[in-house]
């Protein structure tokens, strides 16, 4: 089954404790993105990747890092999480370019206290 998986699905952590949210897709897609969703602000793009070792900043990249060492994986790294990073995070992948027919993961709900 074609899918994008994210782990963990729920996470509560404390300020400053480094964490990684994993994202994996099994569709051999070149393009992958991370979004965060906050009430009243919609979904905003954090980082995107057009291929292995090719990443770039989206709309709200501050406080986040990403890496793309393999085509299937695109982890989101929070080196020093802060409460304003409490949000619902989605990973997405697509085949033709960044936006055509994106497949989204189920989401990761992160709370930073």
The label of the residue with tokens 């999480």 reads 81
18-26, 53-61, 63-71, 75-83 -> range binding other proteins (CB under 8 A): 53-61
- Under rule CB under 8 A, which residues in 90-109 are in contact with other proteins? 90, 92, 96-107, 109
Distance CA(85)–CA(46), nearest Å, equals: 11
- Read off φ and ψ for residue 84, nearest 5 degrees: -75, 0
Degrees (nearest 5) of the Cα angle 54, 43, 50? 15
Options 48, 66, 68, 74; binder of other proteins; rule CB under 8 A? 48
Please report, as residue ranges, which positions from 1 to 40 form the binding site for other proteins (by CB under 8 A).
4, 33, 35, 37, 40
Number of H helices, E strands in the chain: 0, 11
Binding site for other proteins (CB under 8 A): 4, 33, 35, 37, 40, 42-45, 48, 56, 58-59, 88, 90, 92, 96-107, 109
């Amino acid at each position: 089954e074609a899918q994008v998986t994210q782990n963990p699905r729920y996470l509560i952590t404390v300020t400053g404790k480094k964490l990684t949210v994993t994202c994996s897709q099994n569709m051999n897609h070149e393009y992958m993105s991370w979004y965060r969703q906050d009430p009243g602000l919609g979904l905003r793009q954090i980082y995107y990747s057009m291929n292995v070792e090719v990443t770039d900043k989206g709309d709200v990249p501050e406080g986040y890092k990403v890496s793309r060492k393999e085509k299937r994986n695109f982890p989101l790294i929070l080196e020093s999480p802060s409460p304003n990073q409490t949000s619902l995070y989605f990973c997405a992948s697509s085949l033709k370019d960044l936006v055509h027919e994106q497949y989204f993961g189920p989401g990761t709900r992160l709370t930073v206290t």
